Copies of this chain bind each other. A is one copy, B any other.
Amino acid sequence: MADSARRFDLITMGRIGVDLYPLQTGVSLAEVRTFGKFLGGSAANVAVAAARLGRAAAVISRTGDDPFGAYLHRALAEFGVDDRWVTPVGAYPTPVTFCELFPPDDFPLYFYRLPKAPDLEIAAGDLDLDAIRAARVFWVTGTGLSEEPSRSATLAALAARARTGTTVFDLDWRPMFWPDPGTARPHYTEALRHTTVAVGNLDECEIATGVREPRACAEALLAAGVELAVVKQGPRGVLAVHRDGTEVRARPVPVEVVNGLGAGDAFGGALVHGLLAGWELERTVRYANAAGALVASRLACSAAMPAPDEIDTLLTTDGTAS
Report A's interface with B, CB cutoff 8 A: 20, 23, 28-37, 66-68, 70-71, 74, 93, 96, 98, 100, 110, 112, 114-115
How many copies the complex holds: the figure is 2
Interface centre among A23, A30, A34, A36 (most CB of B within 10 A): A30
CB distance from A35 to the nearest CB of B (A): 5
With A34-B36, A96-B96 as contacts: A71 and B29 at CB distance below 8 Å: yes
When the two chains form the complex, which single residue of B29, B33, B36, B93 contacts A110, counting CB atoms closer than 8 Å?
A: B93
Sample of 17 more A-B contacts, CB < 8 Å, known A23-B34, A29-B66: A20-B20, A28-B70, A29-B70, A30-B67, A30-B68, A33-B36, A33-B37, A34-B34, A35-B35, A67-B100, A67-B110, A68-B98, A68-B110, A96-B96, A112-B112, A114-B115, A115-B115
A269 to B281, CA, bound (A): 66
A34 to B22, CA, bound (A): 10
CB distance from A106 to the nearest CB of B (A): 13
Closest chain B residue, CB of each to CB of A31: B71
A23 to B23, CA, bound (A): 13
CB distance from A170 to the nearest CB of B (A): 25
Do the beta carbons of A30 and B71 come within 8 Å of each other? yes
Which residues of chain B come closer than 8 Å to A20, judged between CB atoms? 20, 35
Closest chain B residue, CB of each to CB of A64: B110
Do the beta carbons of A37 and B37 come within 8 Å of each other? no
Do the beta carbons of A96 and B67 come within 8 Å of each other? no
Which residues of chain B come closer than 8 Å to A98, judged between CB atoms? 68
Which residues of chain B come closer than 8 Å to A37, judged between CB atoms? 32-35
With A23-B34, A34-B37, A35-B34 as contacts: A29 and B68 at CB distance below 8 Å: yes
Interface centre among A35, A67, A110, A112 (most CB of B within 10 A): A67
A31 to B72, CA, bound (A): 10
A and B contact pairs by CB, cutoff 8 A, 21 listed: A20-B35, A23-B34, A28-B67, A28-B70, A29-B66, A29-B67, A29-B70, A30-B68, A30-B74, A31-B71, A33-B37, A34-B37, A35-B37, A67-B110, A68-B98, A93-B114, A96-B96, A96-B112, A112-B112, A114-B115, A115-B115
